[in-house]
Structure 1
Amino acid sequence: MTARTTGHFDQLYAGNADPWNTRESWYEQRKRAIVAAILPRQRCTTIFEPGCGSGELTLHLAERCQRMMASDFCEEAVRITRDKTAHLPHVEVRRQALPEQWPAPPHDAPEFELIVFSELCYYFDAPQMAEMATLAAGSLAQGGHLLACHWKKEFDDRLLATRPMHQLIDAHARLKRQACYEDEDILIDLWRKT
């Protein structure tokens, strides 16, 4: 993420604790329900959610695991998510710029059973997106899953369209696609580490 991008998100959160209306919008409520339904396990040991934003999906994912790490590069987003999850001792929220500060197992993080890229990957160019796929594959436990869900429509801030970003993940040799949901608004893919 560039300094320009960081400043843009700082401004968004300075004016609104939920800039995308993730708690109330039908798109976001529906997305959380589809994500919950597409996951192959009811519960898992560890989840990583980079780009957690204001933490609405974090709260839902936290119900499905024993330990969760969420992160964002925007300080205000991290503060909001920490406040929302303060009652959940198994959730850790970090400030991290990706891909540079990806948590490195085993010292900085465990192997994850699930990694979730939700509305995150628009802000990476193609080489960074390929690096993100490699980092995710390296951090997943054997048989673990990577889920990516992104809005399909165009907007000014995006560096990559949704389908090409998912294709960059799909191209990784260690990730095999297990499930897909698509409609006019959203694309959700689930890969398994082989």
Structure 2
Amino acid sequence: MVAFSHTDTGTSESEWAASGVAALPELPLSADELADMTFVVLAAHPDDETLGAGGFLAKLHAAGAAVEVLLCTAGEASHPDSQTTTPEQLAAVRLTEFDSAVSGLNPSATWRFLELADGQLAASTERIADSLRAAVAGRPADSVTIIAPYRHDGHTDHDTLGSIAAEVAAQGGHGLLEYPIWYWLWAGPDDSTWNSWVRVPLADQDQRAKQRAMGAHLSQTKPLSDQPGDETLLSDTFLEHFRRPWEAFAWHPSTAGSNSAADAERIFDEVHSREEDPWSYTTSWYERRKRSLTLAALPEESYESGLELGCSIGTLSEELAQRCQQFLGVDASSAALAQAAKRLARFPSAHAKHLTMPGEWPEGTFDLVVLSETGYYLSPDELSELLARIEATTRHGGTLVLCHWRHPISGWQLDAEAVHAMARTQLGWPTHGLYREKDFMLEILLAPERTA
């Protein structure tokens, strides 16, 4: 985490102006393309949306794009030493300022307040992610772009929110625009990160709307009073960074409809590098219960050789390993496999291996193959190839376990029903057991016994 204070002088705007940042390539989306899209904007605190993306919000209004803003906190902790204004009073002031600013930037935008605690967003990651997924649900993945704080901005709430947005965007195949705020203070032109960003030029009316919106946040740009603890939070030198005739974003285009096995390593390495357990495998009752049901559904007490395809961090792997004389867990994510390997280390005959399926495949044959929460991360052609590999390497009478989340997997072509249907049709193996509930389905197929 970068250490800085809002009172730091930081990098001057003249230094940034001399860096060449104003010559960054423009965001490659035309006004017509913007008009056909929906933008979901995340703000950790009132004024984030204005400083980081206010001009762009005004441009989106002019283009006719749909905009929804999710405000996480009221920014009530901005003046912790105030002797004149309580956090509750400040929250009310800042929410009023936020409403005025957003209304001026984009009168057609809607906004929702999540009522989370300022400075503590890291404790609410699941709620934020659920709110964001709900906001983008029901629309084609490639028609939605998320706008969020830069995930390495240096402020803990900004970083948390940016990481959540990046994860949801990657999983759903949505576009992502990350806006820096405090980066302009603590970083400098010699930090090469900005070289890969894009620029959004602002028309005169966009700049004017942004300046009016900045002026609406009086609790941040002016002192609350002349008493100690009520000093101005955002200095004039800092605000110079946001008077530019352009805004800069880290741009990640939509990957909707194009994701395949080749993308798995990149996507899931990124997810696992941010969090050790991004899907709460170790803590969620849903995940623990699902593992118990999966293990209970196995028709045999023990197996000679087991293979788990897409083992992730190895929570199911370590339980399967106890039922197999030999066990191998494979995954495309090196970051996830590092954890799986640690979990399997106590089993001498169990191993984890980095493979991107179906192009890569382990040697040997298996009497237990587990494909859990993985099949829909392949294209139909890739799943067909994977099933052919399974058929060729599963022993006669062997067990194939299929277990998948039943809700839509945005950004990928397949879902649970499609994966299981393809397996039944292509393999033609009898179903030993099938269990469905609202959130997942679990199915056991048995390879035919050897015929005489």
Task: Read off the aligned partner of 1:156 and give its amino acid letter.
Answer: S
Task: Read off the aligned partner of 1:84 and give its amino acid letter.
Answer: R
Does residue 152 of the first structure (1) align with residue 406 of the second (2)?
yes
Which structure carries more strand by proportion? Answer: 1
Q: 1:131 aligned to 385, 401, 404, which one?
A: 385
Distance 2:401 2:360 in 1: 20
Distance 2:314 2:383 in 1: 22
How many angstroms does 1:157 deviate by?
A: 4.0
Task: Read off the aligned partner of 2:283 and give its amino acid letter.
Answer: E
Percent sequence identity is 27
How many angstroms does 1:6 deviate by?
A: 2.3
1:48–1:70 CA contact under 8 A, matched in 2: yes
Q: Structure 2: which 5+ runs fail to align?
A: 1-259
Q: 3-state DSSP class of the match of 1:47? A: strand
TM-score (norm 2): 0.41
Distance 2:272 2:411 in 1: 15
Task: Read off the aligned partner of 1:45 and give its amino acid letter.
Answer: E
Which structure carries more helix by proportion? Answer: 2
| Closer/same/farther in 2, CA of residues 5 and 92 from structure 1, 3 Å limit | closer
2:372–2:402 CA contact under 8 A, matched in 1: yes
Q: 3-state DSSP class of the match of 2:360? A: coil
Does residue 40 of the first structure (1) align with residue 299 of the second (2)?
yes
Task: Read off the aligned partner of 1:180 and give its amino acid letter.
Answer: L
1:1-194 to 2 correspondences below 5 Å: 1-103=260-362, 108-109=363-364, 111-194=365-448
TM-score (norm 1): 0.93
Distance 1:2 1:41 in 2: 31
1:137–1:174 CA contact under 8 A, matched in 2: no
Aligned twin of 2:90? none
Distance 1:116 1:47 in 2: 8
How many angstroms does 1:158 deviate by?
A: 3.3
1:122-176 CA-to-partner distances (Å, cap 9, x unmatched) read 1111121121111111111100010100000123243301101100000124522
The root-mean-square deviation of aligned C-alpha atoms, in Å, is 1.3
1:76-122 CA-to-partner distances (Å, cap 9, x unmatched) read 1111111111111110110000000012xxxx22x211100011111
| Closer/same/farther in 2, CA of residues 170 and 12 from structure 1, 3 Å limit | same
Q: 3-state DSSP class of the match of 2:348? A: coil
Q: Structure 1: which 5+ runs fail to align?
A: none
The structure that has the greater radius of gyration is 2
Distance 2:271 2:278 in 1: 6
Q: 3-state DSSP class of the match of 2:341? A: helix
Distance 1:165 1:193 in 2: 17
Distance 2:354 2:375 in 1: 17
